[in-house]
Amino acid sequence: MGSTTGRLFRVTTFGESHGGGVGAVVDGCPPLLELSEDDIQPDLDRRRPGQSRLVTQRDEADRVEILSGVDGGRTIGSPIALLVRNADQRPGAYEHLRDVYRPSHADWTTEAKYGIRAVSGGGRASARETIGRVAAGAIARKLLAERCGVEVLGWVSQIHRVKARVDPSAVRFEHVEAGPTRCPDPEAAFEMTEAIEQARRDGDSLGGIVTCVARGVPAGWGEPVFDKLEADLAKATMSLPAAKGFEIGSGFEAVDMTGREHNDPFVPGPGGRPRTSTNRSGGVQGGISNGEDVLIRVAFKPTATISSPQQTVDRDNNPVTLEAKGRHDPCVLPRAVPLVEAAMLLVLVDHWLRQVATRP
């Protein structure tokens, strides 16, 4: 099972949605980084359920424990084990799904691959697995901020047909966290809230887009051919639950432009290094960062679990009408913001360490 990512900053996540707990093991974190649970918890608090009326009401504090790799408040170079215990697991709530395949979930495909699946909450296919990614990403965030001056910030830029109108270079953390939608455009945020609440009332769900920017990334991170920076970012974000699309820079809008319109002209920059006057490349050219902001967008599908009746089949291939019970998000976007940030942070910290190894 592909539960490990990274070359030098290696992260392995573990645990199931309704098991004893979930978490990650981080191997390759440099020593002497000051680190405590308080450095990790804020990102987990932004991911956890029950934080507003717009998301699932599963009651989890998601308190992280550091089990190894830290001594006297500093990393010691050995693997860092991070654990979040499940408190509000209700495996019995999924018993009616034991012989039924939920539409657009991983029930059938997991069983086709392994011959068995964790019925409760989808097991490893549950978004609860991302706790380990977010916890590891918080360590990467601290490393990149303190040793490289890199900031990574995500926000909800679209839910269903409601789009935010913001300048990505002007968005700040306090703008994103001003409301439960995590949209920095107040007018759009209000409309998004209305749309999500209406979807819940209708027994339906909505998808949308998270935009994420990395500021302060120097030129030179990333590798040509198979390990291009944008390729690793695409893999990291597309491995998130419910992710359905990835764009960097101009993305698919590039097809509407000519080369003359799309190219980023170089201009003299500070320190004798060039910079670009536009950023349609999204901060990456030839698979390598060029010193501009790295700007990506990730599309998420509507939540697969809805309370409306849906047509499916059981293990014996008999038609069944499924009406989902229990707790679920009518829209994953507000909680997906720290997930996309974590994905970008883990890719960037790994490529930073690779660059240090290439040109110390």
The letter for the amino acid at 270 is P
Instruction: Please give the structure tokens belonging to residue 139.
Output: 């360590």
CA atoms of 345 and 137, how far apart (whole Å): 6
The letter for the amino acid at 208 is G
Q: What confidence tier does 5 reach under pLDDT thresholds 50, 70, 90?
A: very high
Residue 56 has pLDDT above 70, yes or no: no
Model confidence over 57-100: pLDDT tens digits? 566 789 999 999 999 999 999 999 999 998 866 655 677 778 89
Q: Give the pLDDT score at 317.
A: 93
Q: Give the pLDDT score at 145.
A: 98
Residue 359 has pLDDT above 90, yes or no: no
Q: What's the rounded mean pLDDT across residues 334-344?
A: 97
Q: Structural domain tally of the chain?
A: 1
Q: Which residues contact 354 (CB under 8 A, 6 or more apart)?
A: 7, 8, 221, 223
Q: Give the pLDDT score at 59.
A: 61
CA-to-CA dists, residue 8 to 29, 219, 359, angstroms: 8, 19, 15
Percent of the chain at pLDDT exceeding 90:
80
Q: What is the CATH number of the domain that holds 112?
A: 3.60.150.10
Q: What's the rounded mean pLDDT across residues 311-323?
A: 91
Q: Where are the beta strands (DSSP E) in 57-215?
A: 64-66, 70-71, 74-75, 80-85, 151-159, 162-163, 208-215
Residue 326 has pLDDT above 70, yes or no: no
pLDDT mean across residues, the chain: 93
Q: Give the pLDDT score at 51.
A: 67
Residue 52 has pLDDT above 70, yes or no: no
Q: Give the pLDDT score at 9.
A: 98
Q: What's the rounded mean pLDDT across residues 8-30?
A: 95
Model confidence over 187-235: pLDDT tens digits? 999 999 999 999 999 999 999 999 999 999 999 999 999 999 999 999 9
Q: Give the pLDDT score at 180.
A: 94
Model confidence over 135-156: pLDDT tens digits? 999 999 999 999 999 999 999 9
Which DSSP string corresponds to 168-181? GGG--HHHHTTSTT
Q: What confidence tier does 2 reach under pLDDT thresholds 50, 70, 90?
A: confident
Q: What confidence tier does 327 reach under pLDDT thresholds 50, 70, 90?
A: low
For 118-132, 168-182, 248-262, which range has the lowest pLDDT when averaged over its residues? 118-132
Q: Give the pLDDT score at 91.
A: 58
Residue 119 has pLDDT above 70, yes or no: yes
Q: What's the rounded mean pLDDT across residues 326-335?
A: 85
Residue 316 has pLDDT above 70, yes or no: yes
Full strand arrangement of the beta sheet holding 64-66:
4-5, 10-15, 21-27, 80-85, 64-66
Q: What's the rounded mean pLDDT across residues 260-283?
A: 96
Q: For residue 232, how many C-alpha atoms fall within 13 Å in the half-sphere facing its CB?
A: 26
Residue 1 has pLDDT above 70, yes or no: no
Domain extent for 198: 4-358
Q: What's the rounded mean pLDDT across residues 12-40?
A: 95
Residue 333 has pLDDT above 80, yes or no: yes
Cβ neighbour number for residue 46 with a 10 Å cutoff: 19
